[in-house]
Amino acid sequence: MKKSNVIALVLLSTVFFYACTKDENTSGTNTTLTQNVVKDLMADTIVGLSNGQPVGAGKFTFYSLESNAIVASTDSNSTKWDLAFRGTTILTNAGTSGPGAGGAFIYNGTFDELKTVPVDSVIKKDNYPTSYAITTGSNKGWYVYDGVNNLITPIPGRVLVIKTAKGNYAKVEIINYYKGGTTPAPSAADDIKLKTQRFYTFRYVHQAKGTASFQ
């Protein structure tokens, strides 16, 4: 696994630059929150087939947005992590998933447009097995599953507004679900589609001061 903490990653430099200039124009301040990009975060990658179905080890990967680092799974029952990834399921640290003050909701719009958590937002908590704060299933939460080509694609215009375990806000955009941040071509072999999936690329902005602003 590879992760990087790059402010202006080549991939997103234009985005970020655009965001910066826009911030200056609208708010008139130069203080901007850091945008973090996490690449190839393994989320229970597939280890084999069982009855013809792909299976991973069944383990979540725990991640701290506050410290931009993976958290050991032995700390799963702590407030050290904010998000946990296993396949397409993403947990937040609250409710049935953890002891934190976390939660989430899905915002429709672009990542850059989301400058403040809307006042009327309803933060949901995980309630296993009935529902998750980040709704699971194709075309319901953050991704769509193409059953013909067997591909998972993040839905553009869906931003995950996360409450961290400590109760701070973060906005997260899932960019890709495949290794290297590149979705295999629809014509690629099933084998490649299986082996390269469950590698998250996402970017996020985290407000450590406890306000609802991402500026």
Residue numbers at the binding site for another protein (CB under 8 A)? 11-12, 14-15, 49, 52-54, 108-111, 139, 143-144, 146-149, 153-157, 173, 175-176, 181, 183, 186-187, 190-191, 194
Is the CB of 81 or the CB of 143 nearer to another protein?
A: 143
Kindly tell me which of 48 and 99 has the beta carbon lying closer to another protein.
48
6: burial class by Cβ within 10 Å (0-12, 13-18, 19+)?
middle
Compute the half-sphere exposure of residue 32: CA atoms within 13 Å on the CB side of its CA: 20
Closest distance to another protein from the beta carbon of 156 (Å): 4
- The minimum distance between CB 62 and another protein, in angstroms, equals 25
- The residue among 129 and 210 lying less far from another protein, judged by its C-beta, is 129
Give 178-184 contacts, CB < 8 A, sequence gap 24+: 179/40, 180/40, 181/11, 181/39, 181/40, 183/151, 183/153, 184/151
Q: CB of residue 18 vs another protein: minimum separation in angstroms?
A: 8
Closer Cβ to another protein, 67 or 128, answer by number: 128
Helices (H), the chain: 13-27, 190-195
- Rounded CA-CA distance 148/130 in Å is 28
CA pair distance 13, 104, nearest whole angstrom: 27
Minimal distance, residue 3 CB to another protein, in Å: 17
- Choice between 138 and 215, CB closer to another protein: 138
Q: Report the amino acid identity of residue 52.
A: G
Q: Considering the complex, what minimum distance in angstroms separates the CB of residue 132 from another protein?
A: 14
Residue corresponding to tokens 């407030």: 79
